[in-house]
Amino acid sequence: MKSEILKTEEALGFVKQTFETKLKKQLSLTRVSAPIAVLKGTGINDDLNGFERTVDFPVKSLDDQKAVVVNSLAKWKRLRLKELEVEKEHGIITDMRAIRPDEDYSKIHSIYVDQWDWEKRICESKRTLSYLKEQVEKIYQALKETEKAIHSEYEEITPILPEKIIFIQSEELLQMYPTLSPKERENKITEKFGAVFLMGIGHELSHGEKHDGRAPDYDDWSTKNEEGFLGLNGDILVWHPELKASFELSSMGIRVDKKALKYQLETTKNSYRKELFFHKMLLQEKLPQSIGGGIGQSRICMFLLRKKHIGEVQVGIWSESIKKEVRNYGVQLL
């Protein structure tokens, strides 16, 4: 007889294989190999909010030149689109594995990050909010189809995703709940609608604060979109029934062009990056226009399998106090 943990491992494999298959079909993606580390000082690694420490190490065969474990593949994928000569409206998908030592432990965070990183080549005319919404709806359709497949395989897991995902700007959300924190605003809107794409994240809102931080050199959060708001990016949020909270599954967006990159680097006081390998190529317009994002693998599994703790869907490093705490509310860590 299979143990509960072995049953969970089996279900994790089913979820990941099913969702990836459906996502590739929806977005016209081809699976490719990806690096676990890139050379330091090239500008290829994702700098997240700019203050998190990275895991780096010397490479003996390169005269001890430093390499760094990727935080995500946001910029590497765009280079790969060019190198592979991917056609417009087609893209790539890969597994990303990261170690983020500054991550605070919680029910939904560990120091290990696993996600599907995807990137799709587009033409200049597709750098619009309407196109971004179309791609979000395709991802959401893959998610709904996966949820139905899980119900067929595991009858006790009942589908809960609403028929449609709702789109809302971060500035609109602020106006709706001006006295609440960003996370509290996300909880309110996601509990109300079940599934939300929160748009325009990275720039300052009308009260002088950002909804959340974004690196200046991949998502375009400064271009005014056709609705009159700033930003061509956003997060896919769903309501997690076990956690009773908003739950982020994906961060994605249309990528910066030359104009947006220059503005965002200057605004965030990162102009020195213009001299890095990746940024030089982009400023010289040698990289394709693209849209892309990361979709959390453990996050997808947590939501679709209705798990209460990320340690139920990924093997991690946990303190004794956390192990004791989760045992008290019936959670088995992998």
| Confidence class for position 325, pLDDT limits 50, 70, 90 | confident
pLDDT value at residue 303:
97
Q: Is the separation of the CB atoms in 139 and 133 below 8 Å?
A: no
Cα separations in angstroms, 8 against 2, 149, 334: 10, 16, 9
Query: Domain ranges in the chain?
Result: 4-328
Fold of 4-328: BirA Bifunctional Protein; domain 2 (3.30.930)
In tens, the pLDDT along 53-72 reads 888 889 999 999 998 888 88
Give the Cα separation of 183 and 113 in Å (integer). Answer: 21
pTM for the predicted model, two decimal places: 0.94
pLDDT(50) > 70: no
Measure the N-to-C terminal CA separation of the chain; round to a whole number of Å: 18
pLDDT value at residue 199:
98
pLDDT value at residue 49:
65
In tens, the pLDDT along 123-162 reads 999 999 999 999 999 999 999 999 999 999 999 999 999 9
Q: Which residues are catalytic?
A: 46, 100, 115, 235, 248, 251
What is the average per-residue pLDDT within 15-24? Answer: 98
